[in-house]
A and B are shown apart, each in its own frame.
Chain A
């Protein structure tokens, strides 16, 4: 089955802790994206990568970091510098670098203890 997987489905973070959210795709897409979703707001772009070993900041990159060492994988780390990390995080991928049509993963809900 081709698609995007995200793990875990739920993640709990303690104060001062870094946590990493996984995103894997087997669609052979070059571009991958991380979004944050908060209640009553549209999805906001955190980071994106158009090609392996390259990534750019989105609109709300502060407190987050990413890597893109493999085409299939685009993990997102929520660092302790992110003061309000509780949200739903969605990963997406696109076959075109411009990201005109994106395929979304099932999401990870991050909660702070």
Chain B
């Protein structure tokens, strides 16, 4: 079993829809990250969370430490949100190294 599991693997949405991507992990963590990878391949950091909730523009990230679960929400989705969204955790059992989920491929249609 992978230490970080994301769902769904693929997601197609219509412009304007509310989108949720889920991440579950099975190890002790010091932080959880949501990353965005555009078709060109470069990765940018969206959020780093250790508790609670963070919001940036139309993006909201939440984490439930007890349930070992995090969600990334996109409100009023737009075609430019189309990308791969990656969940990663700092694994405390592995010297805080980053461990990555396989990613969720999001396509927003206009």
A31-50 interface with B by 8 A CB criterion: 35, 40-45, 48
Total CB contacts across the A-B interface at under 8 A: 54
Query: Could you say which residues of chain B place their CB within 8 Å of the CB of A53?
Result: none
* CB of A57 to closest CB in B, whole Å: 12
Interface of A is mostly: loop
Q: Using CB atoms, name the residue of chain B closest to A96.
A: B96
Assembled-state Cα–Cα distance A101/B41 (Å): 18
Chain B interface residue bracket vs A: 20 to 34
Query: Could you say which residues of chain A place their CB within 8 Å of the CB of B4?
Result: 42
- Contact check, A40 vs B30: say whether CB atoms are below 8 A apart: no
- Contact check, A43 vs B42: say whether CB atoms are below 8 A apart: no
Assembled-state Cα–Cα distance A43/B43 (Å): 11
- Contact check, B102 vs A99: say whether CB atoms are below 8 A apart: no
Beyond A45-B97, A98-B95, A98-B96, whether A88 also contacts B41 by CB under 8 A is yes
* B26-42 near A? 1/0 per residue, CB < 8 Å: 00001101010000111
Query: Could you say which residues of chain B place their CB within 8 Å of the CB of A103?
Result: 45
Assembled-state Cα–Cα distance A105/B30 (Å): 24
Please tell me if B19 contacts chain A, counting CB pairs below 8 Å.
no
Spell out A's residues near B (CB within 8 Å): 35, 40-45, 48, 88, 90, 98-107, 109
The 5 lowest CB-CB distance pairs between A and B, nearest first, are A42-B100, A107-B41, A104-B43, A106-B42, A43-B100
